[in-house]
Chains A and B, each alone.
Chain A
Amino acid sequence: MQRMTFADAIIDGLCHALRSDDSVSLIGSALLGLGPHRRKVDRIKQQFPGRLLDGPTSEAALAGLGAGAAMAGGRPFVDLGTASFALLAMPQIVNEAAVAHSMSGGQITAPVVYHMLHGVRGGGGAQHSTSPQALFWNSPGLQIVLPASPRDAKGLIRHAFKTNSPTVILNHAKLMPIEEDVPTGDFDIPFGQADIKRAGRDITIVATSHLVQLALEAARTLSGSGIEVEVLDLRTLCPLDEDALLASVSRTGRLLVVDECPLRCGPASEIAATVAERAWSSLKQAPQRLTRADAPIPCSAVLEAALTPDAEKIVQRVMQMMR
């Protein structure tokens, strides 16, 4: 075990992948963003010279390059920067990478790993605060991964290189500095296995990515008022661990989904609908959603906060539900 930040854990996972498989290559050295953690990428450059390339600002072509490289037998990891920029690459991710295996009747595999930084990061405004999970989830053929802790980041990234399908890893910019004890060796966390980050009897909060951390913060506050929250971290949206989701809700009888995607047609809606359909009889009340508002994120810190879920809003919503 070693205490490490989320950013270090990403680099650690990538180093294991590079060491164990010659076909792994990385494209895009700004994968930790442009903040204080960006220099941690230097470790890869030093340990694996020539295995990390920077291309031009061409998200679509680099996404396609990753898919094509994977089809030919490579295992590329392509960083697309801020998730908003990944929308430029959607034709290649959705029309090419996601459908390759199915469309070819199983002849072609495209195990490319796409990486991007999603979420309301503080001052990002409308074009640097995007969470495009729903767009990817509506594109069959993509594995969608949202780590919420350093250990998960390392294990899930490592696992992406062992599957034979395209993967989209969305990391939240605000997770980069958080610390946790992480196994130093090579390990991976299989996709489709949700994790109970905190056990509780009264209500299930389902979340992914940074919202898991906010839910844990809210759960600590609520515990002081005698409300015991279970925080279920889905870790991957696709595949979705329905069993863990339904099992948790059937224990607590209450569901709140918190998410940073817009409300309509977002992951929170999908999860609430799944529970309503399949666990209706175990619910003590209607499932609820607490998400980002259906509006572009403004630059002003006050306006940004007004539209975005935080720990306090989660506490208030749970108090209402438990009243």
Chain B
Amino acid sequence: MTIPQLDATVRQRVFERMLLMRRLEEGVFELADRGAMVGHFHVYIGQEATGAAVLDAAGPDELLLTTHRNHGHLVGRGAEPRRLLAEFLGREGGLNRGRGGTLHATDRALGFLQTSAIVGGIVPLAIGAAYTLKNQNKAAAVIAFFGDGALEEGYVFEAFNIAALWKLPIVFVCENNSVGAVGQQGGGYNTSVSASTQFTAIPKVFGIETRVFLDGNDVDGIRHAASEALQRARQGLGPTFIETVTTRWPGSQPLWPELATGVTNLAVALGGARAEGEHADWIAHQDPVLRVARELLDQGVSAATLDALDAAIRQRISEAIDFALHSPDPQPATAADYLFAQGQ
């Protein structure tokens, strides 16, 4: 099957989401270096292509759920970087008023429901959201982002079964970031411990439509597949499972990542700079942000356009960092607020 190439306008929009994700995470490292981050965190570097392509295919009425590795999904859908960074610092100005932090940041106004750090935890919730959309006869779908680790949890299998039985309008997006196992070499752990060597075989057992992208940086293919899957869901044709295999980013220790590849230099793709350092090979050949930048150049978008885009994003993140650092801590007297929802 030949997949039509994205036109330059769409690819540039996808790229903008990716670059925003990358610069946001670089901002997270800046805050971590200052000692301002609360607790451990998980970054989205290296996986931007999947999230950006899927989010670009999503419509405004779609509902979304994500995991502890949520930063990219949120900012890629349009969450304000400053309210995200303030949330990561547990501040009053954060999206969740400091109650969620990096693990649970969410933005209901953009269609995000629960952001759960329990592995696989959002998958049953996501089929529930799809159940409501179906009951409401809405032409919208649920997008559930999770990692390969979720396929080690039992209730995820249960949820696949129900989604298939009830033909729920949902797209499961499994970002398989277990490849490479650099974290394991670095003393961490490999996240994927499964007897299955092909994850799409699992939902297939229940008759769920599946797509797999061994190249998780293929924005053309992923955006096309996401579009088709969302359309199927909205038309009442049931769930789709999309697996994208993303090459694990070299700095991606599971809990305490380091910015091992340095701050991304767009000039490596646009001309004028060479990839350097221990991970020069990853930067030159694997980095999804630089790859899509090169694709845009090939489609005739000018380097100056991309540079200007980058400058605007960097400015936005810089202001967001400033906002987050100046956002006050929540009042201790409000610590138990929101235990129960008010009203009827």
A residues sitting closer than 8 Å to B (CB atoms) are 23, 25, 53, 55-56, 58, 60-74, 76, 91-92, 95-96, 100-109, 111, 140-141, 143, 162-165
Contacts and interface: CB of A to CB of B under 8 A. Distances in A.
Contacts of A76: 128, 131
Contacts of B65: 68
A58 B125 contact: no
Contact of B118 (A25, A73, A74, A91): A91
A74 B158 contact: no
Contact of A74 (B116, B135, B337): B135
Nearest to B96: A105
B159 A64 contact: yes
B162 A100 contact: no
Contact of A96 (B108, B118, B131, B154): B118
Contacts of B340: 101, 141, 143, 163-165
Contacts of B125: 64-65, 67-68, 71, 92, 96
A61 B162 contact: yes
Contacts of A66: 128
Contact of A104 (B100, B166, B342): B100
Contact of A60 (B100, B128, B158): B158
A102 B158 contact: no
A91 B155 contact: yes
B97 A105 contact: yes
B131 A68 contact: yes
A56 to B, nearest CB: 6
Interface in B51-65: 63, 65
A164 B344 CA distance: 6
B94 interface: yes
Interface string B94-134: 11111110001011110001111010011111111111110
Given A72-B63, A74-B132, A108-B113, A102 B126 contact: no
B294 to A, nearest CB: 39
A111 to B, nearest CB: 7
Which of A58, A66, A105 has the most B CB atoms < 10 Å from its CB? A105
Contacts of A107: 95-96, 106-109
9 contacts: A56-B158, A61-B127, A62-B124, A64-B123, A65-B127, A67-B128, A104-B100, A165-B340, A165-B341
Contacts of B94: 105
Nearest to A61: B158
A100 B114 contact: yes
B344 A72 contact: no
A69 B98 CA distance: 25
Interface in B178-232: none
Contacts of A162: 344
The prevalent SS among residues of A at the interface is: mixed
B91 to A, nearest CB: 11
A16 to B, nearest CB: 15
Nearest to A102: B338
B97 A106 contact: yes
Nearest to B126: A68
A164 B339 CA distance: 11
Nearest to B156: A61
B136 A105 contact: no
B162 A72 contact: no
A108 B116 CA distance: 13
Contacts of A109: 341
A114 to B, nearest CB: 13
Interface in B321-344: 337-344
Which of B165, B166, B341 has the most A CB atoms < 10 Å from its CB? B341
Given A64-B123, A96-B121, A105-B99, A70 B154 contact: no
Nearest 3 Cβ contacts at the A-B interface: A64-B124, A68-B128, A68-B125
Which of B99, B338, B343 has the most A CB atoms < 10 Å from its CB? B338
B341 A101 contact: yes
Contacts of B124: 60-65, 67-68, 92, 96
Contact of B95 (A92, A105, A141): A105
A76 B132 CA distance: 9
A187 B339 CA distance: 26
B132 A55 contact: no
Contact of A105 (B98, B116, B165): B98
Contacts of B261: none
B264 interface: no
A96 B116 contact: yes
A63 B125 CA distance: 8
Contacts of A104: 96, 99-100, 104, 106, 108, 114-115, 338
B338 A106 contact: yes
B129 A69 contact: yes
A164 B343 contact: yes
A126 to B, nearest CB: 22
A58 B155 contact: yes
Contacts of A105: 94-100, 338
B153 to A, nearest CB: 9
Given A60-B158, A102-B339, A91 B121 contact: yes
Contact of A71 (B121, B129, B135, B343): B129
Given A61-B124, A164-B344, A68 B154 contact: no
B96 A103 contact: yes
A140 B339 contact: yes
Nearest to B113: A71
Contacts of B161: 56, 58, 61
Contacts of B133: 72
A68 B114 contact: yes
